[in-house]
Chains A and B, each alone.
Chain A
Amino acid sequence: MESITFTETPFVRKKKRTEALAKLIFFLMALSMIIPLVMIIAYLVVQAWPILSIDFLLENPANRMRAGGVWAPLLGTIYLVVISLLVSAPIGVLAAVYLNEYATDNWFTRIINLAVVNLAGVPSIVHALFGLGAFVLFAGIGRSILAASLTLAIMTLPVIIASTKEALASVPMPFRTACWNVGATRWQTIRTIVLPNSISGILTGIILQVSRAAGETAPIMFTGAVFFKALKDDGLFAYNLLDQCMALSMHLFTISTQVPDVPHALPYGTAVVLMAIVLLTNGLSIAFRVYLRSRKRW
């Protein structure tokens, strides 16, 4: 009987080499994602080091923005982000629930879905012009925190709808049929099964929009953010909804390009604060997800 050796043929050896090479390339690409992030953060922090302190956070810009801290813009950014999400998150989540759980597949829902996808891809400067036209001029709100927040809300809404829909769609269909077959209405099904099993995905989608809303300059520049604004006091409620406000992203732009003789560390310090907000919210979203997942035993 002829015996078998199971040794490598040259072809197999070649395949193995290709395999190893492919793996290396993919690994390097993955690594190259981290390197810029680490380098950016390191660079910013090193450049900003002399100025970083709690006071930098809590002091207002002073001496025509050549000294002081970032309190007014920081507070402005918080206002803009919170108000815009208070608008877009509930609308977005409810709309997504409708689209995923109630809507039947007809031309109307197809148009809505198409609109969502396309709106999510519209550049932010276009949202800015829309906000200027719709809220500032047409609705007569004027340039204000409210108008800017609404513009940001319009910008984040389609993405929240899309991410929420995805989270809802990931809940297995048999969970729903199980509920329907014990006579649950659609809403009971959503409340008892669909939302509890998708809430962490929904929240992650929303929180990712925090960093987007905090980082964008264009939509707020036309609609409510200003270069400089003196706050009336130090409290958390120093801005009024119809006031204009400063914002970190805009402030960074101003002090890096519009104001001469700014101390070197100041823009870098501002950038670090902005980065910190983004990283902090992303970190929070991860922690929250882990927490929800650990609790989902109910």
Chain B
Amino acid sequence: MTQQKIIIEDIARALYDVRDESRPRYRSESGLTEDIVRDISRRKNDPAWMTEHRLASLAVYNETPPPAWGPAITSLDMDHIATYVQPDAVMAGRWEDVPEEIRSTFDRLGIPEAEKESLAGVGAQYDSEVVYHSIQTSLTKQGVVYTDMETALREHEDIVRAHFMKLVPPKDHKFAALHGAVWSGGSFVHVPPGVEVKIPLQSYFRLNAPGAGQFEHTLIIVEPGASLHFIEGCSAPKYNVTNLHAGCVELYVKEGARLRYSTIENWSKNMMNLNTKRALVEKGGLIEWVSGSFGSRVSMLYPASILAGEGARCEFTGVTFAGRGQHLDTGATVIHAAPRTSSVINTRSISKDGGVAVYRSGVRVSAGAKGAKCAVKCDSLMLDSESRADTIPVMDIREDDADIGHEAKIGRISDEAIFYLTSRGIREEEARAMIVRGFVEPVAKSLPLEYAVEMNNLINLELEGARQ
């Protein structure tokens, strides 16, 4: 009989941890000063209003204290972060035109392959700039725009100006202000009214430089009656110095439109992930968030949905896996600001080897949002006694005619469940893995296919030499 050793592994990191030798064309000095911000703006040929926006954001950043709650972020010292790292590449429309060292990174991550098989468009960002962008011509013919933010700023300046950091203003919090000052890269999508984009678009963000930050800005506008599935992936190799990710995602879902926004974050464990995402959903529109948080040392991530129009809906599905040395503070926020809006939040978190997983939800129902419905279900599983899990729900209900449900469970794997499975001949370690897989199953099912691999790695089966 084969004796196998099965352990519930961390995410298999080897794939992501490969650093490459690509040297940046330009790297800003570490730290955050007006000179640095002006320098970035000049290098990026910003229009004047954007330069002003950056400087105004810097001022907000300097005035704003870091959040007084959540995980400790004291190890983040902006004096040691280079906010702009320009790769030695110009944006290409063909992978052949992307420099070899950079292209091989994306090859390893399987991006060009996924593009061929299952995507209608791809964006690939390397450090601070997008190095590759493509979109199927059938979509451009229908008027769909999918490009990097810099190009969007040049070619669709009015639309960008009308929406850029309007949902997430720099004053929102310190790292939104930081983003406003040094943002670079990211994707822009505009789907015209009634156009259904049936195959997903995907942007991948790779931070290769040590001691640097990535501040991409994603702006998506789905016009009335249109639909889109957008996938975002992120990873970085591990360094001994702290890296920072403070991206910003702004999603506009117009009347009767649908947007599914899927993310798999798999940052290395030296990453501070302080990311801000927000969606504004109009009448009858739907935002679906699928969020997998597996990497980073510290994450603070609470995608927010503002249900602004009657009957607007939000579905949030999240899974968080905190291993050794990780403190992942994740969750979701929903604001019911119109009648008959509804939201469903369903999350699972796992902590092991001393990892900390905190689920933080905020549900607000404004006065007048009659018939609003909200169902929150968050389950946490701790795999050992060193690990921690917590749920912090905040509810602010200002309308009597609202139906709010909240269900939170924090547990450990029960000895009885293990005994039950082992009594069926299954080894204890495998029984544990089955229970963990089962725990995330309802959520794993909704992850995009492209990420099935990552999800399978979640509970990795490690086979150790066969023994009699």
**B is bound to A:** no
Q: List residues of B whose CB falls within 8 A of some A CB.
A: none
Q: List residues of A whose CB falls within 8 A of some B CB.
A: none
